[in-house]
Amino acid sequence: MLQIGQKAPDFTATAVVGQEFRVIRLSDYLGKYVVLFFYPLDFTFVCPTEVIAFSDRYHEFASLNTEVLGVSVDSEFTHLAWIQTERKQGGVGELNYPLVSDLTKEISRAYHVLEESSGIAHRGLFIIDREGIIQHITINNLSCGRSINETLRVLKAIQYVQSHENEVCPVDWQEGDKTMMADPVKSKLYFSSQ
């Protein structure tokens, strides 16, 4: 089972980028943060809402030196057909990030999100830092969509603590909120202000 602090399993796969097929590697993104999210299938119900939401807010991730990669067990041809289908018809339209094909299910297995009995991935989301280390994992069931706001909040918190030695982010921390020192004495400064 994957855990926080482990190296993210690298992969090489075909993705749809814009309207083109490209071979991408997770390791190509070293130096950037990556939000890697798995979803069950193209042309379904909850999945397009998530795929579209990540695309519509992609600029917020890009401004944080972060790439978004969506992965499902569909082929690159199905991804392309879904992208070429209008949103009003259940498609996702043009996307601002790659959709990765995991037809062999190797990536989903490596990230421990594959539901073997159905052959599709749970809604796994991994935040991977610039060194390729997993910093956050969430896995939702098939019927429950994720929150873009929460993904951005956690990403910002991870970036903050990685750039501020000995500081930690308390519950519901938002960018600009007070942090605390990871020290038994200095942390009291935070607690005394609450």
- Is residue 144 part of the annotated active site? The answer reads no
Closest residue by Cα to residue 71 from 133, 8, 117, 129: 8
Pairing of strands 134-140, 123-128: antiparallel
Are the C-beta atoms of 151 and 127 separated by less than 8 Å?
A: yes
Are the C-beta atoms of 140 and 57 separated by less than 8 Å?
A: no
Catalytic position from the list 35, 47, 92, 95: 47
Residues annotated catalytic, as ranges: 47
